[in-house]
Amino acid sequence: MFDVIFLQFLNGLDKGAAYALIALGLTLVFGTLGVVNFAHGALFMLGAFCAVLFRQLLTMETITIDPTQLSPWGAPLEVRAPLVQAWFGDFGAVLVNYSVPASIIITIPIMLLVGIGLERGIIKHFYKRPHAEQILVTFGLAIVAQELIKSFFGPNPIPQPMPSDLRGAADIGAFLGMQANVITYPIWRLVYFLFSFIIIGGVFAFLQFTTFGMVVRAGMADRETVGLLGINIDKRFTIMFGLAAVVAGLAGVMYTPLLPPNYHIGMDFLVLSFVVVVVGGMGSLPGAVAAGFLLGILQSFASMTQVKALIPGIDQVIIYLVAVVILLVLPRGLFGRRGVMEA
Amino acid sequence: MTLLKRGLSRRRVLQTGMAGIIGTGVMPAIFTKGAWAQEFCNNPTGDTVTFGLNLPLTGAYAEEGADEQKAYELAVQHLNGEGDGGLINVLTPTALKGNGILGKKVAFVTSDSQTKSDVARAGATRMIERDGAIMVTGGSSSGEAVAVQSLCQELGVIFMAGLTHSNDTTGKDKRRYGFRHFFNAYQSGIGLGPVLGQEYGTDRRAYHLTADYTWGWTQEESMKAATEALGWETVEAVRTPLGAGDFSQFLTPVLNSGADVLILNHYGNDMVNSLTQAVQFGMRDRQTNGKNFEIVVPLFSELMAKGAGANIKGIFGTSNWHWNLQDPGTVAFTKSFGAAYGAPPSQAAHTAYVQALLYADACERAGTFYPPEVIKALEGHEFDGMGNGPTLYRAEDHQCMKNILVVQGNDNPTSEYDVLNIVQEVDREVVTYDSAIFGGDLGPAEPAPLC
């Protein structure tokens, strides 16, 4: 039984890592700019499509027609040859194999530009408007982004293979000195967990240990006073929006081997990540991370056959049930601050 | 007075009376035999007749929907006498002339069902009531098929189902106005069971992951029946929501459940995701109970196999049809479809194309679009040349009886389309069953409802 529980726990950590990563970006935006950003799911989706775009560029082919061979429908056969391998040889093949992690190189600048452009172009005009209007405009932006991606990449999911060295499962049981082949877990999911851990740790370290981070934290606590000290807090908050977009984008990139992305993938995560943010406490970064892991683990355990035998259908409602209970007991969420969204 | 006497003679009265009775009572019945003008839903009065294509262009089965659309467009071209004629040239018997249907050109309208039953029903309603569709066809899920076929029964419009594999479609939910060419879950079980016994033995423990809707339930039921008949034990059957995406929380309990076979009752994107993730969990490299852990996919499609890539290699399943068959119908359709779209057709495309042609042929044979007469022309109709061998549209449940295929993921594909090998062509006689076992009631054809 220990192995079953351990595996579900591991799965919960893995799910929680994804929820926490998305919720972190969402909270960064809310905590700094006070904007309820319904386009955050779209940023996750755009990141995933950076990986798709990068792979499509790497797997471009030359097509030559071979009139001596026929396809089953009688047309001359198209002979395709990969372009990148032809140019770069073995390095090209390695690049194609590692296309998902390598796409981070293009994802960071693209998402930073998207984030800053979005904030400067549209969202800054809604800072002093009611939250309902912010939700409407960001939700509209999300739909526009979806439709753009749909028109360029089509409606169907596009599978993104993980690097061949990271396929298959790791024998964690044997690693921990237990019987072999009892506790095994997909390597890429462990990579995702580790990646999330690094990103979350990096964001916290950035805010905690840099002057920029200190100013941002001061601005989050009291924007006006920081402004009166002659610090251009708006500029820093704009960069924070860009950073939140990068975090969401990177979460999307690394998720693509687990779930082939389509234009709708962001919306699937959006509702969940809002629940995570609300449970964690609006504007609280540690709250978002803690709630992400908590809900991921609970969802994983609720999917166990033994649990479902006791409460049928619990796996589908557990997250919302927990959210309701926590909000009844702790109306500001787990780490919520007084005064946030309570005006 | 003389006139009165002459006019009122007994013989004259009888003659006039008889002529009156014949003239007013019998003659209209004779002259209107075969004419149903304005007496049925969307009776086509112009030069065209409109098909309503209800296609899942987004959602879990979107790939199938896109391929179905291509097939319908090709079928419409061929019915209107354009292109190479496709399967019209090999369908026997046929009344199709390549000049539309009953002299009217075929047009079509489409609706994206989003792989959702309620959206499919709303789309079908719109196409019937607003666009004047004479027949509705399409769909890639049994949930859609059951919902739309029930609507079509209410509105008096024939529904030629696309890809639907649930036993319920022509079982407990069958309708007089609904027809299915595709095979069903029960037939998959009959075909696949013996092959699984032969390959994996009779001492196996199976774990089912099942899409939680009508198709998944009947697929699971049929596979349980087929494998338990072999002597296999069912360890657990877990329902998963349609379009779940991440199946990891359902896969982790499989690992240490004692099962040595995972049966994935999933289709479309769900199948691609659950199979890919199962392989990521190392299930194909495991040894359980001293045997290799195996994965079975009872219903395969080429599009799905393509999406799952190398993960599909060596995995057994069933198919309604495959473009690699060598009969004249398959060769003709593959050639025609490949020339138009640069890729071979999927089984979803095949069944969609065949359904469009069979409806058109039935109208030609009936000599009318009046649905009850078209229904009569389809019921019990025996035909050949469409790629599945001699086929019967069974009158009792509107299920086509024909050969089905047991397939296996190709270990050495020669192209991106060469993903499945045909292991066995299961004869029609083997997969024929008593229509009464799934119950249901077709309901009446007449009076034809007016939409």
Contact B272 A4 (CB under 8 A): no
Give the tokens for residue B90.
């090999």
- Chain B CB contacts of A15 under 8 Å are 246, 248-249
pTM: 0.82
Q: How confident is residue A58, by pLDDT bands cut at 50, 70 and 90?
A: very high
A83 domain-assigned: no
Q: Which residue of A has its CA nearest to B336?
A: A73
DSSP string, B113-151: -TT-HHHHHHHHHHHHHTT--SEEEE-SSHHHHHHHHHH
Contact B241 A157 (CB under 8 A): no
- From the list B96, B161, B113, B163, the residue with the least C-alpha distance to B135 is B161
Query: Mean pLDDT for each 10-residue chunk of chain B (451 residues)?
Result: 48 57 50 54 94 88 89 97 94 95 97 92 96 94 93 96 94 96 95 95 96 91 95 94 85 89 91 91 89 94 78 93 94 94 93 98 97 97 96 97 96 86 95 94 90 80
- Chain A CB contacts of B335 under 8 Å are 72-74
Contact B249 A71 (CB under 8 A): no
Q: Which residue among B58, B309, B335 sits closest to A155, beta carbon to beta carbon?
A: B58
- Chain A CB contacts of B323 under 8 Å are 72
- How close B232 gets to chain A, by Cα (Å)? 20
A316 domain-assigned: yes
A68 touches chain B (CB under 8 A): no
Contact B256 A8 (CB under 8 A): no
Distances (CA, A) of A47 to A52, A110, A253, A255, B49: 9, 9, 5, 10, 46
- Chain A CB contacts of B307 under 8 Å are 157, 159, 260
- Chain A CB contacts of B324 under 8 Å are 72
- How close A199 gets to chain B, by Cα (Å)? 22
Is the fold of B48-183+323-402 the same as that of B186-319? yes
Q: Which helix (H) or strand (E) holds B160?
A: strand B158-161
- How close B342 gets to chain A, by Cα (Å)? 8
A315 touches chain B (CB under 8 A): yes
pLDDT at A340: 58
For the B186-319 domain, the top CATH level (class) is alpha beta
A131 domain-assigned: yes
| B111 in Cβ contact with B131 (< 8 Å) | no
Q: How confident is residue A195, by pLDDT bands cut at 50, 70 and 90?
A: very high
- Chain A CB contacts of B250 under 8 Å are 303
Check: complex ipTM more than 0.90: no
pLDDT at B37: 45
Helices (H), B130-238: 142-155, 185-200, 214-230
pLDDT at A296: 92
Contact A157 B336 (CB under 8 A): no
pLDDT at B378: 98
- How close B278 gets to chain A, by Cα (Å)? 9
Contact A184 B338 (CB under 8 A): no
Contact A305 B236 (CB under 8 A): yes
Domain B48-183+323-402 has CATH 3.40.50.620: no
SS3 letters across chain A? CHHHHHHHHHHHHHHHHHHHHHHHHHHHHHHHHCCCCCCHHHHHHHHHHHHHHHHHHHCCEEEEEEEEEECCCCCEEEEEEEHHHHHHCHHHHHHHHCHHHHCHHHHHHHHHHHHHHHHHHCHHHHCCCCHHHHHHHHHHHHHHHHHHHHHHHCCCCCCCCCCHHHCCEEEHHHHCCCCCCCCEEEHHHHHHHHHHHHHHHHHHHHHHHCHHHHHHHHHHHCHHHHHHCCCCHHHHHHHHHHHHHHHHHHHHHHHCCCCCCCCCHHHHHHHHHHHHHHHHCCCCHHHHHHHHHHHHHHHHHHCCHHHHHHCCCHHHHHHHHHHHHHHHHCCCCCCCCCCCCCC
- What are the residue ranges spanned by the domains of chain B? 48-183+323-402, 186-319
A299 touches chain B (CB under 8 A): yes
Q: How confident is residue A308, by pLDDT bands cut at 50, 70 and 90?
A: confident
A164 touches chain B (CB under 8 A): no
A98 domain-assigned: yes
- Chain B CB contacts of A185 under 8 Å are 281
Q: Which domain holds residue A239?
A: 2-56+89-329
A7 touches chain B (CB under 8 A): yes
Q: How many domains does chain A have?
A: 1
A72 domain-assigned: no
B255 touches chain A (CB under 8 A): yes
- How close A304 gets to chain B, by Cα (Å)? 7
Residue of A2, A3, A6, A7 for testing the chain B interface, max B β-carbons within 10 Å? A7
A61 touches chain B (CB under 8 A): no
The domain that holds A317 is classified in CATH as 1.10.3470
pLDDT at B253: 87
- Chain A CB contacts of B248 under 8 Å are 11, 14-15, 186, 189, 258
Q: Which residue has the tokens 């024939």?
A: B158
A172 touches chain B (CB under 8 A): no
A10 touches chain B (CB under 8 A): yes
A321 domain-assigned: yes
